[in-house]
Structure 1
Amino acid sequence: MSRNLKLIAVILSLGILLTACAGGQVAQNNSGQYKNGMVVSAHPSASKVGLDILKKGGNAVDAAVAVQFALAVVYPTAGNLGGGGFLVYRSAGGEVATLDFREKAPGKASRNMYLDAAGNAIPEKSLFGHLAAGVPGSVDGMVKAHEKFGKLRWADLVQPAIDLARNGFPVTEKQAEELNEMQEPFRKFNPDKTYFIKSKFTGGDTWVQEDLAKTLELIRDKGREGFYSGEVADLIVAEMAAGGGLISKEDLKNYQAQWREPLIGKYKDYKVITMPPVSSGGIALLQLLNSVEPFPLKRYGHNSDSAMQVMIEAERRVYADRATHLGDPDFYKVPQKQLIDPSYSKMRMNNFNWNKATLSTDVKAGEFPKESEETTHFSIVDREGNAVSLTTTLNGGYGSMVFVKGAGFLLNNEMDDFSVKPGAPNMYGLLGGEANSIVPEKRMLSSMTPTILEKNGDLFMVVGTPGGSTIITSVFQTILNVIEFDMNMQAAVNAKRFHHQWMPDEVVVEKGSPDSLTRLKLEGKAYKFRERRAIGRVDAILKTRWGYYEGGADPRGDDTRLGW
């Protein structure tokens, strides 16, 4: 080998070594890092649809629209036409926007519609069946996102979902297991329908949904009108009449997604762009970050007893505030400015005691001076650096369990996210009050927390997750895993999570965490633990210091990261 060739070889080797080691991150070829764009979603087929759109010259919003419709086909437990959600957008130049396409209460909804004659909550009525459904927002949300920021033709973004529905897609092993477990409720709430009903689903089966394909064709050809009027609207209203639901043609005609002012906060050197109410997630996330910022978490160490104690106590106080102060800003004056003021969080943490757990019964919402589990999230960044963080849901897995006959899609059970009665818990055990009471055309409170972070004016992270009440704490911990505990994106997503939501007064942890010594120390301070299986399914993208996009796809599901 010549002297020049040897020198080149040494330089190349040194460059690879530096890239592999710096900042705890690994080389591009070994870590799933890509330069031109990335999609991370809950299903491999949906991620492929999004990546194909990016490769065809579409931007992040184009890909988000295509992925949203694809998930309605391939991930029906949470992907949807009959649900709603939130979108956070950041352009490559730093423009930010947030879109609220959350469902609304029907016009005939009433405050006490889920109470019995004695005034007690009837949980089943808000959870299952036709009466549990709010007016869907997903289709109008995608239309408005595309109108404002889209680049490719609308029809080209809906067509991949039509192809998946008509030609079929391979069912994953996890999907097959879940669908087999759901046969009883599908039959119970859809006695005159055959959707999703089969003697046995097997991984690898090709799943065809012809009625859903026809519905998507109407949306492709007519846009908003293909869903909120005409044939599909008639089918929704007929379904309501058949099962005692409340959604009317007028409700569908009047529904409008809303562009809202993004919620902006800071954590150390990072700018946090997140969702304002009617999501509770953005305010709660900023409160949590404000609460822990004064503490040296990095020195404490990931999931150490000290780090966990600080984070648990912050979560306890923030969820107490959520129960009292948050609701639809179109109907209730949310004290947003006060809640996200760092001095307020500092005051709330003043009575934190290192020696003993705070009792949740002693924690109330703060006072101010007068003035699904089954959700799904996806993160997308395009070649130019535009980013979308989008969380969407039917609320519970498969929503109300009710299919729209002839249209092939499920309706949500989002009405359960209202405070059915002050002090009565919803399906996630969350309490609520007057701010989130049922009012016609009001949006129900949500925990969804799609978020984008900047560092030094540049894109840093796109993150979000499903998980009902655990959404906020999962996003919170994933952000800290990267910033404070020096994890790469995939490691931050993989890490064991925990959750406290004020009431019930317990720390929910993923099985096998924390380690026995840490748990013993915290139990000695009167913290109560309850183990469960997976908490959340975070899908996130990190922009590395070298300009690559590094994905974190949650191994708790079929989540898939794809880039180019």
Structure 2
Amino acid sequence: MRPRAGSTFPWLLASLLLLAAPAFAQDAAPAPASAAAPADSARRFAHPPGTAIASAHSLSTQAGLEIVRAGGNAFDAAIAVSAALSVVEPISSGIGGGGFFLLHEAKSGRDIFVDARETAPAAATPAAYLDAKGELNRDRATNGPWSAGIPGLPAALVHLAQKYGKLPLKTSLAPAIRIAREGFPVYARLEKGYAGRREVMERYRGTRAVFLADGTPPKEGEVLKQPDLAHTLELLAAKGFDGFYRGEVGAKLLKAVKEEGGQWRADELSGYKVVEREPLRLKYRGWDIVTAPPPSSGGVAMAEILQMLQGWDLAKLDPAHRTHLIVEAMRRAYRDRTIYLGDPDFVKVPLARLTSADYAAGLRATIHPEKATPSDLLSGQPAPLEDEETTHFSIIDGEGNRVSATQTVNLLYGSGMVAPGTGVLLNNEMDDFALRPGTPNAFGVMGFAANAPEPGKRMLSSMTPSFLESAEKVIAVGAPGGSRIITQVLLAVLAYDAGLAPQQVAAQPRIHHQWFPDAISAEAGALDAATVAKLQAMGHKVNAGESHWGNLQTVMWDRRDNTLSGGTDPRNPVGQADVLLSDR
């Protein structure tokens, strides 16, 4: 299902975006936000009435609810959802990749950012990715063992179970193990993605063993079984960290990388560590927002954009001028992303300055209210898309714990390489480094010294898992989409501020600008012809009517009437938002 075309900017189209949502209720459904009875504005419920989960696949959502029924909390459910997505969405994420987990622990009131981003092997120097002419070797950067960083997701699942969950890891991983062993029906996106990457995928014998097990590529409706992946997950469940990073699985990963010409060391694999970081915090029009710090660029960029936009009442502007101001704020934030951001354990990120209100005010003063500011690098090409790669899920439980998590293998099916005997599809996150300074990566974004690879360094990311909280509502939200993740989450914040319900937020048409290329990307229905004409008169290049992108997942607890609701992106027909009400 796709969002319907509209004639004005998306969050004013609530009446046009009440689409049939791919959301289902388990045991009982919350009342629609529009149908809720008026609540006493002074009344605030202390705890949600149950658990809400929104994820990119119905099987992963159900895996999370299964663990909640078994006595788990949001963090146990996050392990189950993450692992299940690793099984059913190899196109988007997996235990051969990494991710960010934003947590809120109700009993302590703490917000924690769990950084499970992949790290660079020592051999992955910038020179290793250049061809004989000194140009970026795009094949090595995006395909096979040289494109893969040391995976972080398995360590994150162990970390969540040991530090925040209630249940043993083997319990929380059980649904994913079952799905991997018994299989799941191949869906259209999986089939199409394989066709797009087939040439690369079929270079590697481990990949052929999984996806060509019956001699033919995956077809919609067929059942895809992954017994090797099930075994790897069982070892992770039984032995924790050592079950993946050492022992049988670790040895097979090292052997596979070496056989295909890559260079990983055993100490790099066994030495991987999850890092807990302090989340970024900002305020926007009555909302307290908690979001991702570096090595994510998302929180910094969103802080800059929202603080710039606070200088205007967007609701009072016509669509063209509203879009113009949002785009100009995006342009400036993405420029700073390119120049300043990287792994804070390796480079000094001017975080206080970039996220300060004074800095935003200075940037705001450079925005001409009637004219586009040309980017330093001009291009007529639309920004590359990432819609099948990366995934997100959001959870709120009955104790008030919440999780907003984004995980990825980077591009479509990551590196394309499965390590034989493990079922583990390796990421191709090395392309997220500035492998050749000033050369755009697969998503058209550039980087310089701050994001150059170094041994053990984490590559810059756009993943932006976030929480929003007002006097009345608590929200978890995030999305995949490469460099477009940030603007999807930004538009979700603006939509929630305008009063939209979660499913409307997930469905709204989208726009994007990332400084380079110097063009507004707009989904079909995001901008009408008159608005496009006005923007062009201001000096903007507008790529209107682009293919849809992203896969936003969000859940909301309304404290006024104590209801839970969720929204899952209708661009993805296998996603599901679900609510499980407690017995209390």
TM-score, normalising length from structure 1? 0.90
Letter of the 2:72 counterpart:
G
Q: 1:476 aligns with which of 490, 494, 497?
A: 490
Letter of the 1:498 counterpart:
I
Give runs of aligned pairs for residues 179-328 of structure 1, distance below 5 A: 179-190=194-205, 193-197=208-212, 198-300=215-317, 304-328=319-343
Matched, 1:514 2:530: no
Shift of 1:561: 0.6
Q: Counterparts of 1:244 and 1:17 in 2: how far apart (Å)? A: 56
Cα separation, partners in 2 of 1:492 and 1:243, compared to 1, 3 Å: same
Letter of the 1:306 counterpart:
H
Letter of the 1:502 counterpart:
W
Give runs of aligned pairs for residues 366-377 of structure 1, distance below 5 A: 374-377=389-392
Partner of 2:537: 524
Residues 474 and 535 in structure 1, CA contact (< 8 A), matched pair in contact too: no
Bigger mean CA deviation after superposition, 167-176 or 264-273: 167-176
Partner of 2:569: 554
Q: Counterparts of 2:31 and 2:144 in 1: how far apart (Å)? A: 58
Q: Counterparts of 2:244 and 2:206 in 1: how far apart (Å)? A: 24
Cα separation, partners in 2 of 1:236 and 1:377, compared to 1, 3 Å: same
Q: Which runs of 5+ in 2 are unaligned?
A: 1-29, 40-47, 379-386
Partner of 2:372: 357
Residues 542 and 551 in structure 1, CA contact (< 8 A), matched pair in contact too: yes
Secondary structure, aligned partner of 1:453 = strand
What do residues 237-260 of structure 1 show as CA deviations (whole Å, max 9, x unaligned)? 111111111222111111101011
Letter of the 1:51 counterpart:
L
Matched, 1:146 2:161: yes
Q: 1:163 aligns with which of 165, 170, 178?
A: 178
Secondary structure, aligned partner of 1:85 = strand
Bigger mean CA deviation after superposition, 257-266 or 507-516: 507-516
Letter of the 1:211 counterpart:
D
Cα separation, partners in 2 of 1:191 and 1:155, compared to 1, 3 Å: closer
What do residues 454-476 of structure 1 show as CA deviations (whole Å, max 9, x unaligned)? 213x7621000000000000000
Q: Counterparts of 1:509 and 1:23 in 2: how far apart (Å)? A: 36
Secondary structure, aligned partner of 1:45 = helix
Residues 24 and 486 in structure 1, CA contact (< 8 A), matched pair in contact too: no
Q: 1:57 aligns with which of 46, 58, 71?
A: 71
Cα separation, partners in 2 of 1:191 and 1:236, compared to 1, 3 Å: closer
Shift of 1:270: 1.1
Shift of 1:205: 2.2
Letter of the 1:100 counterpart:
D
Cα separation, partners in 2 of 1:118 and 1:171, compared to 1, 3 Å: closer
Q: Counterparts of 2:376 and 2:144 in 1: how far apart (Å)? A: 35
Residues 104 and 444 in structure 1, CA contact (< 8 A), matched pair in contact too: yes
TM-score, normalising length from structure 2? 0.87
Q: Counterparts of 2:527 and 2:445 in 1: how far apart (Å)? A: 24
Shift of 1:184: 3.1
Matched, 1:47 2:47: no
Bigger mean CA deviation after superposition, 223-232 or 263-272: 263-272
Residues 387 and 462 in structure 1, CA contact (< 8 A), matched pair in contact too: yes
Shift of 1:288: 1.1
Residues 168 and 206 in structure 1, CA contact (< 8 A), matched pair in contact too: yes
Partner of 1:486: 499
Cα separation, partners in 2 of 1:53 and 1:192, compared to 1, 3 Å: closer
Cα separation, partners in 2 of 1:55 and 1:213, compared to 1, 3 Å: same
Residues 78 and 375 in structure 1, CA contact (< 8 A), matched pair in contact too: yes
Partner of 1:5: none
Cα separation, partners in 2 of 1:362 and 1:399, compared to 1, 3 Å: closer
Residues 143 and 200 in structure 2, CA contact (< 8 A), matched pair in contact too: no
Cα separation, partners in 2 of 1:418 and 1:200, compared to 1, 3 Å: closer
Cα separation, partners in 2 of 1:534 and 1:23, compared to 1, 3 Å: farther
What do residues 269-310 of structure 1 show as CA deviations (whole Å, max 9, x unaligned)? 111111111111111111111111111112226xx1121111
Partner of 1:71: 85
Q: 1:344 aligns with which of 359, 363, 369?
A: 359
Residues 465 and 538 in structure 1, CA contact (< 8 A), matched pair in contact too: yes
Q: Which runs of 5+ in 1 are unaligned?
A: 1-15, 26-33, 364-371
Residues 116 and 274 in structure 2, CA contact (< 8 A), matched pair in contact too: yes
Q: Counterparts of 1:320 and 1:474 in 2: how far apart (Å)? A: 18
Q: Counterparts of 2:339 and 2:38 in 1: how far apart (Å)? A: 42
Shift of 1:23: 10
Cα separation, partners in 2 of 1:24 and 1:473, compared to 1, 3 Å: farther
Partner of 2:470: 455
Cα separation, partners in 2 of 1:202 and 1:421, compared to 1, 3 Å: closer
Letter of the 1:64 counterpart:
A
Residues 55 and 392 in structure 2, CA contact (< 8 A), matched pair in contact too: yes
Letter of the 1:162 counterpart:
I
Shift of 1:355: 2.1
Residues 148 and 415 in structure 2, CA contact (< 8 A), matched pair in contact too: yes
Q: Counterparts of 1:79 and 1:23 in 2: how far apart (Å)? A: 40
Q: Counterparts of 1:163 and 1:128 in 2: how far apart (Å)? A: 30
Shift of 1:501: 0.3
Residues 373 and 469 in structure 1, CA contact (< 8 A), matched pair in contact too: no
Q: Counterparts of 1:381 and 1:275 in 2: how far apart (Å)? A: 18
Letter of the 1:477 counterpart:
L
Shift of 1:192: 7.7
Partner of 2:10: none
Q: Counterparts of 1:19 and 1:413 in 2: how far apart (Å)? A: 41
Secondary structure, aligned partner of 2:202 = helix
Shift of 1:19: 6.8
Q: Counterparts of 2:38 and 2:410 in 1: how far apart (Å)? A: 37
Q: Counterparts of 2:320 and 2:37 in 1: how far apart (Å)? A: 25
Q: 1:35 aligns with which of 35, 40, 49?
A: 49
Residues 177 and 201 in structure 1, CA contact (< 8 A), matched pair in contact too: no
Give runs of aligned pairs for residues 115-154 of structure 1, distance below 5 A: 115-154=130-169
Percent identity, aligned pairs only, is 38
Shift of 1:349: 1.8
Shift of 1:233: 0.5
Q: 2:548 aligns with which of 525, 534, 539?
A: 534
Q: RMSD of the TM alignment (CA)?
A: 2.1
Letter of the 1:311 counterpart:
I
Secondary structure, aligned partner of 1:112 = helix
Letter of the 1:274 counterpart:
T
Residues 237 and 249 in structure 1, CA contact (< 8 A), matched pair in contact too: yes
Cα separation, partners in 2 of 1:242 and 1:362, compared to 1, 3 Å: closer
Shift of 1:177: 3.6
Cα separation, partners in 2 of 1:423 and 1:373, compared to 1, 3 Å: farther
Matched, 1:399 2:428: no
Q: Counterparts of 1:24 and 1:361 in 2: how far apart (Å)? A: 51
Residues 326 and 334 in structure 1, CA contact (< 8 A), matched pair in contact too: yes
Secondary structure, aligned partner of 1:419 = coil
Residues 133 and 245 in structure 1, CA contact (< 8 A), matched pair in contact too: no
